[in-house]
Structures are given as C-alpha cells and as structure tokens.
Chains A and B, each alone.
Chain A
Amino acid sequence: MRGMLLIARRELAAYLNSYWGYAVIAAVLVVDGLLFNAFALGNQPKLSSKVIEEFFYFSFGTTIIASILLTMRLIAEERQTGTIVLLDSSPLNAWQLVGGKYLSAMTVLTTMVLATAYMPALVFVNGKVSYGHIFAGYTGLLLVTASVAAIGTFASAISRSQLVAGFASVVITIAFLVMWLLAKVADPPLVDVLSYFSLFDRHYRGFMRGQINTEDVVFYLSICFVFLMLASRFMAARRWR
C-alpha cells in the first residue's frame, strides 16, 4: 500500500504541476455548466427530479471524455520519456504501480466530479429534490468515472504513446457504449450478454433516476477490477517479452 501511495503522490503532483489537469477540469466544468443551463434548466418549467436526471445524463458524456483525457498519459508518458525504467527497476510490483497511477487519476477525477455539485444544489433554490436522488446520481457518475479510468489505465499500459493510449481508450469505451445497439439486432442468448455489457443503457439509467441497483454497482466494479488486473498483468509480463 505504501508503494502505491508513493506512486499516487508523485503522479498527483505531476497533475498539479502541469496545465493538462487544470485544462481538462476547467473545460469539463465549463461544458457541464453550459449544458446544465441550456438543457437541464432550459426555458420550459420542469420537475426538479427531471432537471437532476438530465444533469446526470449529460455529465456522463463529459466525465467519460475527461477520464480518457486524464488517464491516457498515466503509463504511456513514462514509457515515452524513459522514466518507466525507474519504476521497473524499483522493488514495486506491477499491481502497486498500476494501482498508484489509477489512484492519482481517480483523486483528480473525483475532485472534478464533486466540483459539479453546485449545479444540482442550484435546483434547491426554486425546486424540491431528494438528497437520495443526488447521492445515487453521483454514485453512478463516480462508478462510470472509475470504470472508464480503469479502461484508460489499461490502454495507457499497453501503448507506447499517449495518443495511441487515448485512441485505444476511446475504442474500448465506445465498444462498451454501443453494446445496447448491437443487443437490439442480436438473437438470444447473445442479446443478454451484449445488453449486460452496455456501459450506459443497461446500468447507468437507474442511477440517473435516483436508483442504486446492486447489479449495476457490481458491473462497474467488475469493469474496474478486470481492466486494472489486465493492466498489471501486462506490466508484469513485459519483463518476459
């Protein structure tokens, strides 16, 4: 755990020392704010719960983009600059390395996600919202963030450059997003499998409406675990290639 925290600490400092982290967070907050004002609030009267639901709907998109942008550099950049040797020659194992990198990205992303909280809070001014709805929405949003960040960490582990890592993250994430479309044209039992792997349609809609289903939580946590495990296995296997 100590090794993981050491990696996370340095990585976090790297985020704070570069413009990239600030730029991505600022862009996400601006876009989220604009979308909230234009669509969630809009000009027509709406139920407060509908406003919150729409807020979590478009936050999904901006958050997964931010997750990809902030994770694509994690390991690929170390490889590009040659500093990966420093980590490879240390007694840290691959899991500590991958875990530390992931932890730092999640710290930044969680801060970013929580910084959007002023938007649902604004609804309290003229509306009536359940705290549970907001809690469920943010739980879902953070689980999606964690899943896409794990995908991004994996893509970064297998790529030689940040650009390739970003591209690989986009491809994998889009594949998970369009599963529900494929499910529509597939036959049983494939339809159930494809539908289950749908990152948004099957598992996120409940959170948007204020529902927390164990199945959805398990799905997102499984995605995190599988991709982080693949990333650490890949990092460990490099020594043998």
Chain B
Amino acid sequence: MIEVKGLTRYYGSFAAVKDASFKIADREIVGFLGLNGAGKSTILRVLAGLQMPSAGTVTVGGIDATVAPDALRKRIGFLPEDPPLYREMRVSEFLRWVGQVKGCTRAQVEAELPKVMETCRLTDAANQVIGELSHGYRKRVGIAQAIIHRPEVVILDEPISGLDPRQIVEMRGVVRALKSFATVLISSHILSEIAQTVDRILVIHRGRIVAEGTEQQLSGSLGTGTRLTVVVRGKLDACEEVLGKSELVEGYELAAQGELVNASVTLRGDKREEFVRELVEAGLGIRQIQDSMGELEPIFLELTRAAMAPAGLESKQHPIHKEADA
C-alpha cells in the first residue's frame, strides 16, 4: 500500500528526515514512535501530500507523491495534532462540505455521513456548533473529516494528545474501527498507548528510522526479555533461591510485604508459560502475575540511546530494521 524509499526532507539546511525507507501493507495500523522533533510529523506530512520530499520516493497505492500529489491526497485522510476545524460551522454541515471538497458527490457524502458519524461516535453532536464542542469531540470531528471521503490511508498525528483517560479509551476504539477499511498511520510519543493500538511500530530518532517491528520483536532484538511483575506467597529467601537458580530469569528485584513477596522479573525472551510452571513446581503460591506497565519505555530509550551517542552509530539502523528490509 505504502512504499517509501530513501525519504529525505530538509527545512533550509536542517534535515528533519534522513534517508527513511519502509513499507506498509494494506489495512495495517502502524505507529510512528519518537521524541518531539524526531521527524514523525514530517514523515506523516509528506505521506499526506502536504509537503514534498527533498529526496527519495513516496508511493501510495502506486501513486507517486511528487508526480500526482492531487490524486494522492484524494486517497488519504489526514488529521494533524490540532484538528483543522471551522469553529463556526455545525458538525454535519462541516463534514458535508469537507466530503465535497475531497472530491465526493453530494449523494456520496450523504450516504457516507451516517456511517462516519457512527464510527466516530458523533451522532449525538451532529447539529452542534464545532466551537462549542469539548476537546475530545473536536478530535473525533477531526477524524471524521479525515475519513468522510473513505480514504485508503488514514494518517493521525498525535490523535490522543490532550485527551483525558476516558477519551483516550474511546479514541482507541475509533482508531481500531478505521482498520476495517483503511491503512492507519499514527504518530505518538506516548509509548504505552501506541503499543495498545498498532500492529507494528517504526521508531524514529533524529530523522532516521532506528528500528521497526512489533513490540515483541523490538524487545527481543535488544535482549531486554519480557518483564513481569509477580506477587507470590512465601518467604523472601525461598523466592530468591528459585529465581536465582532459574535459567529462564535474566534479572530480578524482590521486596517483601508481610506474607507476600513482590518480584519484578526480567525473562530471557518470551518464556512466560515456562516461568509460571517453574514457580508452581517450586511450591510458590502465585497471587498475581502481570506484564510490567510501560514495557516500551526501556526499549525506546535503549534504541534512541544507541542512535544518539556516538556519531558513527547515528547512521546505523537497528538489526530489526535490516531484517524487515530483507
């Protein structure tokens, strides 16, 4: 669906994106992960046809962004971080207008409008003036304007920024619903959030793609293993003995809380089933076991640290990315 080769984008003499290459399949949800200023938005803006690449090629569904930008934009729906909305218009009026501007006939827009309202959970706000809506609703109107013309690719730049926890959960549902008809690209710097929504992650740092893969692939490639938080009933010494002897465990930290022991465990790879069996066989009473929250944080920091420190390393891509290319 999307193929990017050697994409480079300069602003003056500053290279916001350097030699980025990747492929995205049809109906895939891909997350662009990076710190502020990493180049995520620039890549998305080039893919959306808002900016032209300084070098390299970008094709969406076989259409070259530099050769036929108008045709490309017809196939793409774009939501920037701040939704571009005319505050004086009513929601349905605005969506009708956007649909026609994006090349649909009035009949097509009328047919699509109820579905889009439903997908974005806007039905109850159809006749409200946009300027009077809450931030969460405005984000949803932003998504609705991006999909009203039924695009093949939907690009969402930081779709959850500024939303409260309830709105984030709702937004996650909306984004997943888009997958039924479109390829979805999302950028975010909220690591835990991106992992819950996307099929694959591209990690961007200083304009380069430093890694690419699923959360597990990224984690495995760095040898960071799987992190678990385990609460067991037993004595601290007994726990220490079991974990110390285990060949599955790469590292651990223990803390006693009365009769319970809290253990933060890092496994050598994804061997959660074997690890649980080992604990049971050792006679430790498992009270609770869960994946550690924010698993992506250490992965992300590790990847960006590798790209940041020595000058020579900056141009090298992470092995995962090479594998994906191969």
> Complex Cα distance A89/B145, Å?
11
Q: Evaluate contact between B51 and A86: CB separation under 8 angstroms.
A: no
A85 to B, closest residue via Cβ: B84
Which one, A7, A89, A92, A240, contacts B52 given CB within 8 A? A240
Point out which of A14, A85, A241 has the most chain B C-beta atoms below 10 A from its C-beta. Answer: A85
Give the interface segment out of B73-81, B229-237, B263-271. B73-81
Interface size class of B (residues with CB under 8 A): 20 to 34
A82 touches B84 (CB 8 A): yes
Residues 220-241 of A at the B interface (beta carbon under 8 Å)? 239-241
Q: Does the CB pair A6–B97 fall under 8 Å?
A: yes
Least CB separation from A89: chain B residue: B78
Q: Across the interface, which residues of B come within 8 angstroms of A240, CB to CB? A: 51-52
Say yes or no: B52 contacts A86, CB within 8 Å: no
Distance between B296 CB and nearest chain A CB, rounded to angstroms: 29
Query: Does B34 interact with chain A (Cβ within 8 Å)?
Result: no
For B85, give the chain A residue with the smallest CB separation: A83
Tell me if B84 and A10 are in contact (CB < 8 A). Answer: no
Stretch binding the partner chain, chosen from B25-33, B99-107, B254-262: B99-107
CB distance from B242 to the nearest CB of A (A): 57
Contact with B along A1-44 (1 / 0, CB 8 A): 01100110110011001100000000000000000000000000
Cα A2 to Cα B239 in complex, Å, equals 73
Across the interface, name the chain A residue whose C-beta is closest to B146: A89
**Which parts of A52-104 form the interface with B (CB within 8 Å)?**
82-93
Question: Which residues does chain B contribute within 8 Å of A86, judged by CB atoms?
Answer: 84-85, 98, 101, 145
Q: Per DSSP, are chain A's interface residues mostly helix, strand or loop, or mixed?
A: helix
Tell me the total A-B contact number using a CB cutoff of 8 A: 60
Find chain B residues with CB under 8 A from A17 CB. 88
> Please, what's the 1-or-0 string for B59-85, where 1 marks a CB less than 8 Å from any CB in chain A?
000000000011101101010101011
Q: Among B70, B101, B145, which residue has its beta carbon within 8 angstroms of that of A6?
A: B101
B50 at the A interface (CB under 8 A): yes
Given A82-B84, A83-B84, A83-B85: A89 in contact with B48 (beta carbons within 8 A): yes
CB neighbours (8 Å) of A2 from chain B are 100
Q: Does B86 contact A (CB under 8 A)?
A: yes
Interface residues on A, range: 20 to 34
Q: Indicate if B49 sits at the interface (CB-CB under 8 A).
A: yes
> CA A10 – CA B96 in complex, angstroms?
11
Q: Is B86 a contact of A90 with CB atoms below 8 Å?
A: no
How long is the Cα–Cα vector from A3 to B71 in the complex, in angstroms?
14
A207 CB to closest chain B CB (Å) equals: 38
In the bound complex, what is the Cα–Cα distance between A13 and B80 (angstroms)?
A: 25
Instruction: Tell me whether A10 and B97 are in contact (CB under 8 A).
Output: yes
Whether B51 lies near A239 (C-beta < 8 A) is: yes
Known interface pairs A17-B88, A91-B71. Does A85 touch B101 (Cβ–Cβ under 8 Å)? no
Complex Cα distance, B39 from A29, in Å, reads: 52
Q: A91 and B85: CB pair below 8 A? A: no
Which A positions have Cβ atoms within 8 angstroms of B?
A: 2-3, 6-7, 9-10, 13-14, 17-18, 82-93, 239-241
Apart from A3-B101, A86-B98: 18 A-B pairs, beta carbons within 8 A: A2-B100, A6-B100, A9-B97, A10-B86, A10-B97, A17-B88, A82-B84, A83-B86, A85-B50, A86-B85, A86-B101, A87-B101, A89-B48, A89-B49, A90-B102, A91-B71, A239-B51, A240-B51
